[in-house]
Amino acid sequence: MAARTLDDRYRPFSLRFKRHLQSMLGGAALAATAVGATGCQLDLEYRGTPDSQGVDSCDDVDAELLVQQQIGFLDYRCEGTRYFEFDSARIVDDVDGECVVQATWTDRSYPNSPCDYLPGIGVVEGRPLMVESEARVAPLRQGRSWSEEGAVDVRGLTLGQRKRLAERWQRAGQYEHASIASFARFTLDLMAHGAPPALLLAAQKAAADEVRHAQLCFGLSAAYGVEVEPAGLELPGGSVSLSADLVQLAVDTAREGAIGETLAAVRAAEQLRHATDPAVRAVLQSLVDDEGEHAELAWRTLRWAVDAGGEPVKEALRRVFEEAPRAVDGFFEGGDSDAALRGHGLLSDADVRRALRRALEAVVLPAAAELLG
């Protein structure tokens, strides 16, 4: 009998992850609008239909459950550097068949709260290149060598809007460019710990994907009127360190890949859902497809690492996934956005955070629970 390959052994897990992710990428974002924070409380408004809970009227809706259905968890919420603990939820109105719920969080801020910045977890385009707990990118200079032509329709955009969009896609291009180096290091890490060829092949393909992603993003920046390209990527001592052991490799892969790239794919899907410009949609579709594959590679790597490293790897991963929700609340896209900006891929912070919270609940945490048994 032929030996089973890595793909054969891990295919069921990968297929289940794909189904979770695809259901999320195809879903509509749920609405939740902040209506203001007063004193030591944060009041937020949520809306949902009674049939989401299998009931007929808003009188029968469980207000707390409606909030939880939309944001995935109630334990805490961050606004800037402030930390809020869930307090209560109640039905306040019924508008055109939608139940309006007001949820209240109480301010429990304190120094070094759980919502402070956590190194190694974040949501960026591609796979972040982490150097000394900081996502490293190359500085920019004038030039078009990294710009793939994009025919964006800029009619109706003000100069200020074009500038914001160019800056957004420049930043995306910088992270995609850095991801090339991140996957190169990931490949070396895999080799250092005896990973099978299937993972190495996928890592090499992912690096090539990131080259194309960077070109697409810098191409959009040029289309909005700002022609830039990455200069040299500065590394301390001219090199980057590899993972000290299999546990560290698993932790880094969980933070940067299983969490970071899963959420990056979902964010791109949310951008795509709102985008109307054909050129922007084409770029976002490429990001959605490829980042989803890269996320799957990260989860397959974790499956291999757990099998190879046993309980020490599992225990380290449990701690990482417990911290995962904080990555969402530390995310910033660039503030508010109007319909014109959304049509070109720039969403508000609130739009993206809602989608990412749902992704944690529907994709990341179920996959982690299965991985860790």
Length of the chain (residues): 373
pLDDT digits (tens, 9 = 90+) for 263-280: 888 888 888 888 999 999
Cα separations in angstroms, 284 against 57, 134, 220, 266, 272: 39, 26, 11, 11, 6
Whether 254 and 321 have beta carbons less than 8 Å apart is answered as yes
Over residues 8-19, the mean pLDDT reads 65
Whether the CB-CB separation of 216 and 286 falls below 8 Å is answered with yes
Write out pLDDT tens, residues 62-80.
998 888 777 655 655 655 4
Q: pTM score, two decimals? A: 0.71
- Identify the top-confidence range among 54-68, 94-108, 119-133, 186-200: 186-200
Burial class (CB in 10 A: 0-12, 13-18, 19+), 4: exposed
Domains annotated on the chain, with CATH: 6-28+121-372 (1.10.620), 32-107 (no CATH)
CB-CB neighbours of 53 under 10 Å: 14
Structure tokens that stand for 196 in this block: 């099978």
Cα(92)–Cα(100) distance, rounded to whole angstroms?
Answer: 6
SS3 assignment, position 89: strand
